[in-house]
Amino acid sequence: MRRPRLSLREQPLPGGQPLAFGTGLLIALIVGILLLLAAGHEPLKIYSRMFEASLGDPDAWAKTINRAIPLGLAGLAVAIAGSMGLWNIGAEGQIMAGAIAAAWVARIGGDWPGIILIAMMLIAAVGGGGVLALGPALARAKLGVNEIITTLMLNEVAIRLVQWLIHGPWKDPDSYNFPLAPMLPDQARLPTLFSRAHFGLLIAAAVIVIASVAVRYTAWGYELRIAGSSEATARYSGISLSKKILTVLVLSGAVAGLAGGVELSGTADRLTETISNGFGFAGIIVAALALMRPSGVAVVALLFGAVQIGGQSIQTLGVSSSVSTILQAFVLFGAIGAGVFSRYRVVLDADTRSSNKELSDD
């Protein structure tokens, strides 16, 4: 019987990952056509609208960029942990912790000059995200507690904290009893670069470049990659694993926290329940598509931002928002699926007696 089977390629296909992403996009577009037809829309019209709204003119680019900023930082946070084989599923909560810390600074420093206020807000955001990651980091480094679970659970803590603040102590007295925190003072807002694209673009780009260089070219990053490839080898060469785990997870949380601070100061007017808007979870997808390489995060975040903005824009044409979510899901499916084929080839069982490096190889 000839059964199809996946067999490991000796070398991954060159350019496999961009190719995979492109294929994923293509698959999503094709599925989308069927989906839109079934829902009674005109696919071409919808697609051109999506393109125009996300990449059609400077205003559209600004929207996409503003979306890509938190996605990229959150993706970077996940990728930093991922380069060492750790999973930070708590970026969502760390973004909120960062936003809370930044909002607090804005409350107490309302009369500081803008540049100092913004700098202090961002520093506080970094600290807030780092503090939320500290518990899971310590538990993993000292006791071996699985960081996936602890970081995930702290997301709940962070969102409840935001809810409590905006329903309670930080509620805006002028909000007619809506659960809203007060507006940020004007000088606490990040300046814009063009259209509505804000200064966070430069911050995010700088942080991504620094992190990529650090992971690729420094001794610190080298140790990180060694530890991510083989723990035993790291121990053998005298790298302290627990110290590494601790710093990497806290750093990951700090970067996510920065995303929260930038988002608060750049696009949101005030601290709200939806300040993170799922960026932390989308960041996991961004990092996965970038193969956990900090250097790949920027491009993926931009594309992902465009898909999200485009997806939102078609709601005005009467397309349900779930359709755009489904499209995003198919981009992911397609990209990950195509990624598999860049590393594995399909063979038929009967004629492959010699190449037996199967998936089940252990």
Partner 1 sequence: MNILAGVYRPDNGELKIHGQPHQFRNPADALNAGIGMVHQEFRLIPSFSVAENVILGSAARVLRNKQVELEVSELAERFGLKVDPSQPLWQLSMGERQKVEILKILWRNAQVLILDEPTTVLTPSEVDELGEILTKMAEDGRSIIFISHKLHEVSGICDEATVLRQGKTVASALPIESTDQRELAQLMVGTSASTADRPEPNTPGGPLLELDRLSALGDRGLEAFSNLTFQVNAGEIVGIAGVAGNGQRELADVIAGLRPSTAGSLSMNGSDITEASPQFRFKSGLAYIPEDRLGVGLAPRLSITDNAILRVYRQQRRGPFILAEKALAYCKDIVQRFGVRSADLDGPIAALSGGNLQRLLVGRELDGQPSVIVASQPTRGLDVQGVKAIQELLIEQRNSGVAVIMISEDLDELLTIADRLLVMESGLIRGEFDPRTASRDEVGMAMLSDGQATTGI
> Among 105, 74, 31, which residue's Cα sits nearest to residue 260?
74
Separation of first and last alpha carbons in the chain: 25
Rule CB under 8 A: is residue 238 a binding residue for partner 1? yes
> Among 260, 259, 244, 136, which residue's Cα sits nearest to residue 204?
259
Q: Which of 39, 206, 356, 357 touches partner 1 (CB under 8 A)?
A: 356
Q: How far is the CB of 8 from partner 1 (least distance, A)?
A: 11
The two three-digit tokens of residue 20, written as one number = 């995979």
Give Cβ neighbours of residue 347 (< 8 Å, ≥ 6 apart): 4, 5, 6, 7, 355
Rule CB under 8 A: is residue 14 a binding residue for partner 1? no
Is the distance from CB of 158 to CB of 99 less than 8 angstroms? no
Positive or negative, the CA dihedral 102, 140, 208, 235 is: positive
Rule CB under 8 A: is residue 225 a binding residue for partner 1? yes
Rule CB under 8 A: is residue 169 a binding residue for partner 1? no
Task: Give how far Cα 58 sits from Cα of 61, 64, 191, 194, Å.
Answer: 5, 10, 17, 8
Q: How far is the CB of 361 from partner 1 (least distance, A)?
A: 9
Rule CB under 8 A: is residue 218 a binding residue for partner 1? yes
Site string for partner 1, 196-215 (x = CB under 8 A): ------------------x-
Q: Which CB atom, from 104 or from 222, has the smaller least distance to partner 1? A: 222
Task: Give how far Cα 4 sits from Cα of 20, 268, 308, 344, Å.
Answer: 21, 51, 36, 12
Segment interacting with partner 1 (CB under 8 A) among 29-37, 93-101, 159-167, 224-232: 224-232
Rule CB under 8 A: is residue 230 a binding residue for partner 1? yes
Rule CB under 8 A: is residue 351 a binding residue for partner 1? no
> Among 116, 298, 241, 262, which residue's Cα sits nearest to residue 190?
262
Rule CB under 8 A: is residue 222 a binding residue for partner 1? yes
Q: How far is the CB of 12 from partner 1 (least distance, A)?
A: 9
Q: How far is the CB of 222 from partner 1 (least distance, A)?
A: 6
Rule CB under 8 A: is residue 229 a binding residue for partner 1? yes
Rule CB under 8 A: is residue 142 a binding residue for partner 1? no
Tracing tokens 């925190």 back to the chain, one arrives at 181
Rule CB under 8 A: is residue 344 a binding residue for partner 1? no
Segment interacting with partner 1 (CB under 8 A) among 127-135, 227-235, 259-267, 326-334: 227-235
Q: What is the largest CA-CA distance in the chain?
A: 77
Tracing tokens 């490096």 back to the chain, one arrives at 357
The two three-digit tokens of residue 285, written as one number = 């997808």
Q: How far is the CB of 82 from partner 1 (least distance, A)?
A: 13
Rule CB under 8 A: is residue 228 a binding residue for partner 1? yes
Rule CB under 8 A: is residue 322 a binding residue for partner 1? no
- Contacting positions for partner 1 (CB under 8 A): 10-11, 214, 217-220, 222, 225-226, 228-230, 232-238, 353-354, 356, 360
